[in-house]
Amino acid sequence: MTLPNQVLISQDLSCVGQVSLGVALPIVATLGLQPAILPTALLSTHTGGFGANTYLDLSQEMQRIIAHWQTLELNFSAVYLGYLGTAALPVMRQHLPTLATPAARILLDPVMGDHGRLYKGFGRSYVAGMRQLAHRATVITPNVTEARLLLELPQDEQPLTLAAAEKLVQQLSAQLSVANVILTGVPLNDGQIGVVGYTERTIWHWSTPQLAGHYFGTGDIFASVCFGLWLHGSTLQSASQQAMEFVQQAIKRTATAATDVRFGVDYAAGFQQLLEQVLPV
């Protein structure tokens, strides 16, 4: 049984801090889609600046949830995968073929590192497993660190030339056999930050002046908006531009308000403008 407008979202949930499932769920729902969730882990807070957070792995519960869904013959025509974790990754690799319809649109955000380093607790086997999962995706949205990990390239935290970023997305598409690649949070050497894509056999990029500071959850917000708009009929290129602008405005509102950035950016204030992109005139 495949339900119309249902989007399966599988990633971790932080009880405090607007990241991962905490932003994906409201964004997907606001865009008029029906989210179904398969949480991979439950955290007291996200891991950025709150101290010793709790972490509850939900991989065993995931398997029980999937088993129940199988009795209902549920599957999904749209799947959005974010942070999985070492125990949940093999569960998703095993069950994705039955959770997704044959023609499902699958977005994989291969969350596993940033700033030139793997996240704590991940090793080469996790990267290898993520590489295998990427073969199933319709589109992947790695950052530069994750792109280099997937390609087994040395890490380099220096800004990229546009030509180097374009080479990365083409390499990812070819080596992982994934049709669409969107490289996110790309620090370009002209003081800009942007996204570089290889989608529908076309290379493109969008960029904007890089704002000072580090803001949690912006990659999750970008992927959620981009996927939702794509499911509504936008091209990935257009959806990426709108998602980047949505994130940029959220950061500006947060910086102006001078709120504690650990709790995330003020993205919800942009919902009305976002809805104008999908609602009929």
- Considering the entire predicted model, what is its pTM? 0.95
Domains of the chain: 6-274 (3.40.1190.20)
pLDDT in tens, the chain (281 residues): 776 789 999 999 999 999 999 999 999 999 999 999 999 999 999 988 888 899 999 999 999 999 999 999 999 999 999 999 999 999 999 999 999 999 999 999 999 999 999 998 899 999 999 999 999 999 999 999 999 999 999 998 788 889 999 999 999 999 999 999 999 999 887 788 999 999 989 999 999 888 888 888 999 999 999 999 999 999 999 999 999 999 999 999 988 888 888 999 899 999 998 888 776 64
CA pair distance 235, 225, nearest whole angstrom: 13
Residue 276: predicted pLDDT? 83
- What integer pLDDT is reported at residue 279 of this predicted model? 65
User: What is the 8-class DSSP label of residue 213?
Assistant: S
Q: Residue 92 and residue 10: Cα distance in Å, rounded?
A: 9
Residues 58, 12: Cα–Cα separation, whole Å: 9
Per-residue pLDDT at 280 = 60
What 8-state DSSP symbol labels residue 235? -
CA distances from 34 to 12, 37, 122, 210 (A): 18, 10, 32, 33
- The residue among 108, 117, 118 whose CA lies nearest residue 141 is 108
H helices, E strands: number in the chain: 9, 13
Question: Exposed, middle or buried: residue 97 (CB in 10 Å: 0-12, 13-18, 19+)?
Answer: exposed
**pLDDT number for residue 182:** 98
